[in-house]
Amino acid sequence: MPGYELINQKEKKAVSKLFDQGGVLFAHGFDSLRKNFHVREFEKNCSKFFKAKHCLAVSSGTAAIKIALKALGVKRGDEVITQAFNFIATIEAILDIGAKPIIVNVNENLNMDPDELKKKITKKTKAVIPVHMLGFSCDMKKIKNICNFYKLPIVEDNCESVGAKYNKKYLGTLTDIGIFSFDHGKILTTGEGGLILTNNKKYIKYCREYHDHGHEGNPRYSRGNDTSSISGFNYRMTEIQGVIGKEQLKKLNLIIKLNKKRYQCLRSILANFFTIRPEIHRSETNYDAFIFFTRNNKQKNKVLDVIKKNKFGTKNLPDAIKWHCAYFWGHILEKKQIQYCKKTFKILRTAVAIPINLKRSSKEYKKLAIDLSRI
C-alpha cells in the first residue's frame, strides 16, 4: 500500500502547524523565525525506528543513491554492479557520477542473483547495489559474503521495500549504506524525498556536507560564514516534507499489518494454482505487491482480463516493465549488456504484480483470488 492512501487530517494539521510556528520551509538556518527543525526531527525519528546510527533526509531516492556512491569514493571510470530488475534511477545515479553500471540478472526471487554477481566482479568494481524490489529482500547473506571476500562496499537500494526485514533487521540497515525513497507511490511518502542510512561516521559526514553545497555545519560559525572542505550540490529535503514524513513514519507498522491481511487473501488461494514469488529464508516482506508467474502469454492475458474486470490494476509488472527492466534501456546501456539482460526479461514477462491497496477491502482481494483461480 502506498503511503498516500493514509494521508489525512494528521498530515494536514502538521503542515498547518508548521505555518503557525513561523512558516520556515527551509531545513537550515532562520533559527529566530522557527520553533522546530522538522527535517532534523524526522531524521532522528528514522534513526530510532530503523535502528540506524545516522540518517540523512534528502530530495529523492535517486539523489540518495548518487550521494551514497560519492561517499564511498566511486569515481569516473569505476564499475558499479547492480541488477537487471530495478528502477532506471539506480542506473542514472551511477552514470551521473561518471561510473559504469554493470548489470547482473535476477533469479526466481526477482532480485540479484549472487552467482552472477560473483562472475561480474573485476578490478574496476568499486561498489555493489543490490535492489530489494517490490517488498522482497535480496539474498543478503550470499551477497554480503561475496562482497566481504572482495572487500567491496554495498549500497542497499531499498526504495521499494521500506519496512521489510532480513534476519530481523530492517532492509537498508544491513550494509555500508542504505537508501529509501519517499515518492508518492512508495509505502511512506513525502511527495518526493529520500533517506540515507549508515552507521559509518565518515560516510554520513560526507553525505551531510555534499547534499548541502559542502556546508560543514561548523558550530563556531553562522551558516553564512560556515566552513567547507569539499564541493557539494543541493539535494536537501524541505520542512514540509519533513513534517509529513514524521506523520507517515508513525503509520508504517499499521500499513504493513493492513498490507499483510490483503496479501494473505491472495496467497492462501492462488498458491494452489500459480507459482508464487518465493521469499528468501529469514526475510519478512512489507507486502507491497503480490507477484505470481503465468505459464504462457495466453494464460497471462486471461489473468490480466480478470484483474481488469475486478477493477484492479498491476504494479510495474507488466504495466511499467520498460522502466523496471534493463533489457529496454538501450538509450543508456551498451548493446552487449542489453542482450545479457534478456534472461531477466524472460522471467519478468511471465510475472504479474498485483498492488496491495488499503482502498480495496480484504473481501475484494478474496473475490479476485477466486476469480483468478478459475483460469
Indicate whether 222 pLDDT > 80. yes
Q: Are 154 and 128 in contact (CB under 8 A)?
A: yes
Please give the average per-residue pLDDT across 243-265, as a whole number: 98
Domain residue limits, the chain: 3-249, 252-373
Among residues 140, 188, 173, the alpha carbon closest in space to that of 52 is found at: 173
Please give the average per-residue pLDDT across 104-117, as a whole number: 97
Confidence of residue 236 (pLDDT cuts 50, 70, 90): very high
Instruction: List 300's β-bridge partners, or say none.
Output: none
pLDDT at residue number 1: 76
Identify the residue whose cell numbers are 507491497: 288
Burial class (CB in 10 A: 0-12, 13-18, 19+), 139: buried
Instruction: Give the fold, CATH level 3, of 3-249.
Output: Aspartate Aminotransferase; domain 2 (3.40.640)
Indicate whether 20 pLDDT > 80. yes
Please give the average per-residue pLDDT across 339-350, as a whole number: 97
Please give the average per-residue pLDDT across 22-41, as a whole number: 92
pLDDT at residue number 251: 97
pLDDT at residue number 226: 94
Please give the average per-residue pLDDT across 350-365, as a whole number: 97
SS3 for the chain is CCHHHHCCHHHHHHHHHHHHCCCCCCCCCCHHHCCCCHHHHHHHHHHHHHCCCEEEEECCHHHHHHHHHHHCCCCCCCEEEEECECCHHHHHHHHHCCCEEEEECECCCCCECHHHHHHHCCCCEEEEECECHHHCCCCHHHHHHHHHHCCCCEEEECCCCCCCEECCEECCCCCCEEEEECCCCCCCCCCCCEEEEECCHHHHHHHHHHCECCECCCCCCCHHHCCECCCCCECECCHHHHHHHHHHHCCHHHHHHHHHHHHHHHHHHHCCCCEECCCCCCEECCCCEEEEECCCHHHHHHHHHHHHHCCCCCECECCCHHHCEHHHCCCCCCHHHHHHCHHHHHHHCCEEEEECCCCCCHHHHHHHHHHHHCC
Confidence of residue 39 (pLDDT cuts 50, 70, 90): very high
Distance CA 346, CA 318 (A): 12
Please give the average per-residue pLDDT across 261-275, as a whole number: 98
pLDDT at residue number 2: 86
Please give the average per-residue pLDDT across 79-108, as a whole number: 98
Among residues 317, 312, 274, 318, the alpha carbon closest in space to that of 292 is found at: 274
Radius of gyration of the chain (CA): 21
Instruction: Give the fold, CATH level 3, of 252-373.
Output: Aspartate Aminotransferase, domain 1 (3.90.1150)
Indicate whether 293 pLDDT > 80. yes
Please give the average per-residue pLDDT across 143-172, as a whole number: 98
Confidence of residue 29 (pLDDT cuts 50, 70, 90): confident
Q: Are 353 and 325 in contact (CB under 8 A)?
A: no
Interval 181-213: pLDDT, tens: 999 999 999 999 999 999 999 999 999 999 999
Indicate whether 31 pLDDT > 80. yes
Confidence of residue 233 (pLDDT cuts 50, 70, 90): very high
pTM value is: 0.96
pLDDT at residue number 248: 98
Same fold for the domain at 3-249 and the one at 252-373?
no
Confidence of residue 296 (pLDDT cuts 50, 70, 90): very high
